[in-house]
Amino acid sequence: MTILHGCVADDFTGAVDLAGNFAARGLNAVVITEPDSALHELPSDTEAVIIALKTRTAAPDAAVRQSVDAFRRLSEAGARQLYFKYCSTFDSTEHGNIGPVIDATLAELDLTTTIVVPSFPGNGRTVRDGQLSVWGELLEHSSMRHHPLTPMTESDVRLLLSRQAQTPVDFIELATVRDGVDALRAALERASSPSAVVIDAVTDADLTTIAAAAAGLRFVTGGSGLALGIPVPERRAAETPRLAALAGNRVILCGSASTRTQEQVQAAKKAGFLSLQVDPRAGTEQIASIVRWARESWAERPDVPVLVYATGSPDDLAIDDASAHADAADRIERTLAEAAAALIDAGAVEVISAGGETSGRIVTELGISSLKLGQPICPGVSWARATTADDHVINLALKSGNFGSTEFFVEAWDELA
């Protein structure tokens, strides 16, 4: 087995997102959540391994320890290129973990240079003049400004990173990328040493140039978009196995508060989905009533997914004190994760989980150690097959809050037909 790409993702939705992009380039990609055991049980044709961590909002020392440990294991397993995957909107706080993980990984691997490429044009995330935009709007003016855990009030990736990292930040502008692979490689060689080099990218073609120029770098960092730039192996067409629908009930568990997810919640309600909002002031004591309600709903309308959500409109987030807010966020995550396990026990076999943190909690609570990638649903989201610690086999879609069309909750199931 030759692992071409050994990756560490800072959340679980991002891990599946990255696997989907490798798969779109024709590589066999596997997502694992327990590096100790699962790295030794990889299918022999594995070419990209993504270790899913839940470190985006973890304390920096824990995030660094877990990430460096994961990279060390991937390195020992023979991975040729190491890839730190974070959010295409650079989700982090000023004291966030992207910079410290880059610092520590460079030190661990005894390297001087890496690249920083958050762009994911297929989802509207681009970097020009170092400024990150979401569908043409600067990040600081986008809805990410109001994210409950990682509010993004700065758009300049160089500034965002230099506030977090000890490693000096360098920059390569779009014109150099557009000059082609050789010019970009030469610019990377000229970059200050040590440095983390932020590179502009606006189109998938820019990512192709960057991936080619960085092919010889031991360690790269970025959103999942960078993987879309890697060369497709000539030996086969890009194709992922299609997962079939499973017989049983369907549930959407939605902890994201992102604007797009709120629209998706409204669209699902409009489509007639039965829905239940969790109470952010209450906790896991709600689970019994959630399960009772879901059972009744499935009995009443077996063909319709049920929707359990935390935030359906901006007013739901009206908790202004920061610590009360963090407590509520944690309660919601715990409630949805434990509800997921209880609902699967009650007969759910197909699950959409919306929200990065939420999905991390759910996958951990279910004791899922690896995810078998299936068909894509939209840029950044794929169906995956997983077996829970209790041996339930499920189809699972982990959706980052701002991904997917407004009709995602209604239409994603069609891909399983």
Question: Residue 307: beta bridge partners?
Answer: 252, 275
Q: Which of 28, 20, 26 is nearest to 1 (CA)?
A: 28
Least spacing, CB of residue 131 vs ligand ADP, in Å: 21
State in angstroms the smallest separation of the CB of 213 from ligand ADP.
31
Identify the residue among 38, 183, 271, 317 touching ligand ADP (CB under 6 A): 317
Beta bridge partners of 253: 308, 353
Window 266 to 295, contacts with ligand ADP (CB under 6 A): 280
Site size toward ligand ADP, by CB under 6 A: 25
From CA 280, how far away is CA 299, in angstroms rounded?
27
Q: Is 355 in the site for ligand ADP (CB under 6 A)?
A: yes
The smaller minimum CB distance to ligand ADP, of residues 250 and 399, is found at 399
Residue 220: beta bridge partners? 83
Nearer to ligand ADP, 3 or 341 (CB): 341
With beta carbons less than 8 A apart as the criterion, state whether 118 and 89 touch.
Answer: yes
Q: Which of 148, 225, 229, 404 binds ligand ADP (CB under 6 A)?
A: 148
Q: How far apart are CA 59 and CA 326, in angstroms?
A: 14
* Region from 36-44, 313-321, 339-347, 375-383 binding ligand ADP, contact rule CB under 6 A: 313-321
Q: Binders of ligand ADP among 318-337, rule CB under 6 A?
A: 319, 325, 328-329, 332-333
Q: Are 217 and 115 in contact (CB under 8 A)?
A: yes
Footprint (CB under 6 A) of ligand ADP, residues 173-202: none
The residues in 7-66 that bind ligand ADP, with binding defined as CB under 6 A, are none
Q: How far is CA 348 from CA 109, 157, 190, 248, 408, in A?
A: 44, 41, 55, 6, 19
Q: Does 401 bind ligand ADP (CB under 6 A)?
A: yes
223 near ligand ADP (CB under 6 A): no
Please calculate the CA angle 146-151-157 and round it to the nearest 5 degrees: 130
> 312 — alpha (psi -120 to 50), left (phi > 0) or beta?
alpha
Shortest Cβ 255–ligand ADP spacing (Å): 4
CB of 87 to ligand ADP, least distance (A): 8
Nearest to 115 by CA among 172, 154, 74, 68: 172
Contacts of 19 (CB under 8 A, 6+ apart): 29, 30, 31, 48, 50, 371, 373, 382, 384
Return the number of the residue (91 or 154) whose C-beta is nearest ligand ADP.
91
- Using the minimum distance from each CB to ligand ADP, give the nearer residue, 50 or 257: 257
Closest CB to ligand ADP belongs to which residue? Answer: 401
Residues contributing to the site for ligand ADP (CB under 6 A): 147-149, 255-258, 261, 280, 310-311, 316-317, 319, 325, 328-329, 332-333, 355-358, 400-401
